[in-house]
Copies of this chain bind each other. A is one copy, B any other.
Amino acid sequence: MALNTTISADKNAPPITRILAEFVAGHPSRGWSDAVEHEAHRTFMNWLGCAVGAAHHESTQAAIRATQVLEPAAQALVLGSNIRVDMGNAALINGISSHTFDFDDTHLKTIIHPAGPVCSAVLALAEKLGSSGREVIDAVVLGIDVSCRVGNMMYPEHYDRGWHITGSTGTLGAAAACARLLKLDADKTQMALGIAASQPVGLREQFGTMTKPFHPGGAAKAGLMSALLAKEGFTASRRALEAPRGFAQVVSTKYAWNEITDELGQRFEISFNTYKPFACGIVIHPSIDACIQLREQGVTAENLERLDLRVHSLVLELTGKKEPKDGLEGKFSVYHGCAAGLIFGQASEDQYADDIVNRADMVATRGKVNAVIDNTIDEAAVDATAVLKDGRKIHLRVEHAIGSLQRPMTDANLETKFSNMSDEILGKDQTRQLMDACWSLAKAGSVGEVIQLATLQGSSSGHTRQQTAAAAQ
């Protein structure tokens, strides 16, 4: 019944709560390289596109209805809608929508999706405070640094234990970011981190349900509230993160304190953020990437006789579904992903709609794909050979799929991804302007323009994406 585990406490941990608080409160505005600065804009834009794209999804809508019962003040926008709620609930709902398609960013070292908790809290608070774009970008970089460093400290044991690391570290990241935006001093920032430490959000058991995307939303709301409480003088343990009965030692059996302090203020974890090009599990990405490249070389559904893939064993283990029946099953089919890449040149959320999965040309093309396991192939790679009806063979090898750190999504790729999610919600023109506003956010006097452009105007749109969801992984 009961398992015995010996937890021996580390009583001599360095004061990481204080160290992080001083860093968050004291690091200079834009105190980083151009590359970090640019990555922050990419992170923010990618997050915003995901949130707008899922604005009409059932999980977002259910959260909106639940918060309406609280009769919230119209403080902050629910992205992609014309609804405003109090900033705490805006953080919650935008955190939910941004993770609903499981299409947001990934800090690969920890599998944290860092933007959801941090950006959702920051933008809601910034709208209320009238913060400048500069302040927003500063808060995002520092908040994400906190959550990902805490993740580095505990990964993988914390994740293996069953915590959804995005939410459990996200509360801390959101609290740090909001403390920065509120201009709290180091003492109060330390309290904000302390209050947040008592509120880890997220169990892996929830994967496949709406509570998975709830995790970054709940973390955003809890982190924001922690900073507001700290501002008003609420107190917490000064060693909430590192004490023997503090956060790290309670929720993890690994706590590599040096991950908090190594190169702090010099190396920024947002540098290691990546963005998914395809709305499905990452093991399929090399295969879809290969198919898009084959399409660019002239391969079509019509001229293809057969596609032979050599893949890592995980691909068939996790995504070996030969005949998916709907969008959700399509997410677990490398065959469907390949057909989407060949026919559409992409695998966005739209390619996982039920009617697309069941379209005759998709079914036929899936049938032409043969995948076999090759133990010499890395998880990040694929070996693909297209045999055409005219007898020609085209061979391709992808070593690192698009979206990896080695072959990052270009800014143009990110814009295409954004458009694919946002065009149907906000319209093409407004989407284009919104992306431009994101790219120049640091120069904006306030977040007003971004908010205005992320607002659903009049009665446009009506498109709903309900078939798939974060349910996918």
A70 interface contact, C-beta 8 A: yes
A389 interface contact, C-beta 8 A: no
A250 interface contact, C-beta 8 A: yes
A97 interface contact, C-beta 8 A: no
A236 interface contact, C-beta 8 A: yes
User: Copy number in this complex?
Assistant: 2
A215 interface contact, C-beta 8 A: yes
Known A63-B229, A71-B75, A203-B197: A245·B162 in contact at CB below 8 Å: yes
- Alpha-carbon gap, A209 to B193, bound state (A): 13
For residue A210, give the distance in angstroms from its CB to the closest CB of chain B: 5
Most chain B C-beta atoms within 10 Å of own C-beta, residue among A6, A194, A205, A229: A205
For residue A132, give the distance in angstroms from its CB to the closest CB of chain B: 19
A8 interface contact, C-beta 8 A: yes
Contacts of A210 in B (CB 8 A): 234-236
Give residues 187-217 of A contacting B (CB, 8 Å): 194-195, 197-206, 208-211, 214-215
Among B1, B164, B234, the residue within 8 A (CB) of A256 is: B1
B1 and A255 within 8 A (CB)? yes
Interface 1/0s, chain A 212-246, versus B by CB < 8 A? 00110010001001001101111111011001111
For residue A160, give the distance in angstroms from its CB to the closest CB of chain B: 8
A161 and B206 within 8 A (CB)? no
- Alpha-carbon gap, A199 to B214, bound state (A): 10
- Alpha-carbon gap, A215 to B244, bound state (A): 19
- Alpha-carbon gap, A206 to B195, bound state (A): 9
Number of interface residues of A (CB under 8 A): 77
B232 and A211 within 8 A (CB)? no
Contacts of A21 in B (CB 8 A): none
A69 interface contact, C-beta 8 A: yes
B205 and A246 within 8 A (CB)? yes
Interface 1/0s, chain A 362-405, versus B by CB < 8 A? 00000000000000000000000000000000000000000000
Among B70, B231, B237, the residue within 8 A (CB) of A211 is: B237
B229 and A5 within 8 A (CB)? no
A59 interface contact, C-beta 8 A: yes
- CB nearest neighbor in B for A204: B245
Contacts of A243 in B (CB 8 A): 205
A198 and B70 within 8 A (CB)? no
A247 interface contact, C-beta 8 A: yes
Known A162-B245, A162-B246: A167·B63 in contact at CB below 8 Å: no
- Alpha-carbon gap, A197 to B162, bound state (A): 12
Contacts of A4 in B (CB 8 A): 253
A157 and B229 within 8 A (CB)? no
A sample of 25 cross-chain residue pairs with beta-carbon separation below 8 angstroms, ordered by A number, consists of A1-B257, A2-B157, A2-B253, A3-B7, A5-B6, A5-B253, A62-B234, A66-B231, A70-B75, A70-B86, A70-B87, A73-B73, A162-B246, A194-B206, A194-B209, A195-B211, A198-B203, A198-B206, A198-B211, A203-B237, A203-B240, A205-B237, A206-B237, A211-B235, A214-B229
